Amino acid sequence: MRGQAHLNVRYFRPDELAQHLAAQRTGGDLAPRLTRDAERFLVRDIAKSAGGYFAAVAGREGFADALGLLFRDLEMGGFAGGALPRALGAESADERTKFGQIARLFKEYLARRNGFAGRTDAYALAREARLEGPLLVYGFWSPSEVQAALIEQIASYADVTVFLPHSRSGADDAHAAFRARLANAGAIVETPASPSPSEMEMGLR
């Protein structure tokens, strides 16, 4: 049962943990979120205004869907506000280019959604709160920037242990950067080895 105490352990998904900590700062009074349908309508309306590189697909349903996914990834990647133009460089100022259009459309999306909570607002508030007790993290090894930043923040004042898979192969490179980041933050990284093919074969006999 997520969010419920069980043997003095509470289980949260990343967004739920952020919301739990954010509630400490706001007393549970968080700004409302757009409904899924309202957000979809907003993104489709913004997609219709695309020009330059995207002029040929502006307003098409597939483009609007892709744009919505991109906006979500940009927010979770920590690119809200003025971070995206800085990351994209000079090309973001030319609205005829792909990056210029992405920067413009994302800026418009954030401006028109102003007054409603975004996906990362709870994470920003959560970093100002404090978690009581240790944190155990398992089940994911490629977090977004805002998720990783929250774990780092908690590791700065509390015991954090992160469990990551160990496949004994190059597949572990998928979480190499995350492992290094956790180690620098002072978190404990546990990588229990997965059974080798021969061990799995022995177990099936």
DSSP state of 53: G
pLDDT score, position 30: 75
Query: In 109-192, which ranges are E strands?
Result: 135-137, 160-163, 188-190
Using CA atoms, how far apart are residues 118 and 15, in angstroms rounded to an integer? Answer: 12
pLDDT score, position 175: 80
Q: Taking the chain (205 residues) in consecutive chunks of 10 residues, what is each chunk's mean pLDDT? A: 60 91 81 91 96 94 96 94 86 89 95 91 91 87 90 92 79 79 86 57 45
pTM of the complete model: 0.80
pLDDT score, position 186: 86
pLDDT score, position 104: 95
